[in-house]
Structure 1
Amino acid sequence: MNYAIYYNSVTGNTKILADHIHSQMKENCLYSGNADDPKIEGADLVFVGFWTDKGRCSDPVIELLKKIKHKKIFLFGTAGFGGSPEYFERILSNVEKYVDPTCEVVGRYMCQGKMPMSVRERYQKMYDSDPQNEQFQSLLNNFDQAKKHPNQEDLDTLTIQLKSMIKAIQKS
């Protein structure tokens, strides 16, 4: 089975996941990158990576997902806000809506990812203007937690997901 990896990554978090997938899958990679490459069409399995934008993937990923037909798809992504499997599940479900019905989603994975420092500066200004607001402190705490991701634990969990997906595909 050959595969392709497409990812859209602004901060580099999703690229870390894409590179990890490539290192785990090793052989039969037709394409790995952040451009909509024609080689993707020749793949049996397409890994599609995204960063979270307004609770879903970015527009280039939506366009690619609408274009891909009759493939096995593994969705993976990162989000600045984390810690809640329900939140990640909601994002993945939102993204999966863009997958063409002729495709089969064979795996999904998300983890937290670091955000640009400009986001923390914005949160700090909000907090400074109203230090009693617990939501603003929570935003700062989440930002500081996100700086540590994706980490080795995230990559190990992704590896487990990949192995599980491969076993399921081999059984079918």
Structure 2
Amino acid sequence: MRYAVLYSSGTGNTEQVARAVYAALPAGQARLEAVGPDTAVPQEEVLFLGFWTDKGVCPPDMQKLMAQLAGKQVALFGTAGFGGSEAYFEAILQRTRALLPAGNTVLGGWMCQGKMPAAVRTRYEAMAAQNPGDSKAASFLANFDRALPHPDQADLASAAAFAGEMAAKAQG
């Protein structure tokens, strides 16, 4: 069985996870590639598609690749700046899953929180300054701080375990 780990990473979080997924797959049977605007449809039977979260779903470059897939076994993985809720992650995975054309098989999905750029914290601080006592701005700042160490070693180990489970599932 041949595997491709294809990922779109806005800040490096998803790339870290993609490397952990790749390392967990059988040596010599997988390849790792960043998705770009002209990424060709992979020939491998099993695809691990990694993405950062853009407005609650995978970003446009991954959407473009996914729209071209047919007859593949797909495992989805991703990172999101907001976290702390499996229900939130599952909603992102469901929206992303829905973008795959019929005829592809989704093996499963996995997500973790990822750190956000400093500019995001600056924006949240400005929100808090404009509206002192605003609980929404305070919760955004708290989430930003919780996300800073992610993906951490536990996240990467979990991603590797997910890769192993999905590879076993693809084998049948």
TM-score, with normalisation over the residues of structure 1?
0.93
Residues 1-172 of structure 1 aligned to structure 2 (within 5 Å): 1-25=1-25, 26-35=27-36, 36-38=38-40, 40-170=41-171, 172=172
Q: Alpha-carbon deviation of 1:31?
A: 4.7
Q: Alpha-carbon deviation of 1:12?
A: 0.5
Q: Equivalents in 2 of 1:148, 1:46: separation in Å?
A: 28
Return 5+ residue gaps in structure 2 as ranges. none
Q: Alpha-carbon deviation of 1:92?
A: 0.2
Q: Equivalents in 1 of 2:35, 2:80: separation in Å?
A: 18
Find runs of 4+ consecutive structure 1 residues off by over 4 angstroms. Answer: none
Q: Equivalents in 2 of 1:57, 1:71: separation in Å?
A: 18
Amino acid at match of 1:137: A
Amino acid at match of 1:164: E
Q: Equivalents in 2 of 1:10, 1:152: separation in Å?
A: 20
Amino acid at match of 1:44: E
Classify the secondary structure of the residue corresponding to 1:91: helix
Classify the secondary structure of the residue corresponding to 1:93: helix
Root mean square deviation of aligned Cα: 1.3
More helix by share: 1
Deviating more after overlay: 58-67 vs 154-163:
154-163
Q: Alpha-carbon deviation of 1:81?
A: 0.2
Q: Equivalents in 2 of 1:30, 1:118: separation in Å?
A: 33
Structure 1 contact 109–158 (Cα < 8 Å) conserved: yes
Amino acid at match of 1:10: G
Q: Equivalents in 2 of 1:63, 1:32: separation in Å?
A: 15
Q: Equivalents in 2 of 1:47, 1:67: separation in Å?
A: 15
Kindly provide the CA deviation profile for residues 37-89 of structure 1, in whole angstroms up to 9, marking residues without a partner as x.
Answer: 43x53101111111111111111111111101111111111000000000000
Structure 2 contact 3–48 (Cα < 8 Å) conserved: yes
Structure 1 contact 5–47 (Cα < 8 Å) conserved: yes
| Number of aligned residue pairs | 170
Distance 1:117 1:93, change over 3 A: same
Structure 1 contact 31–37 (Cα < 8 Å) conserved: no
Q: Which has the higher contact order (CA 8 A, sep 6+)?
A: 2
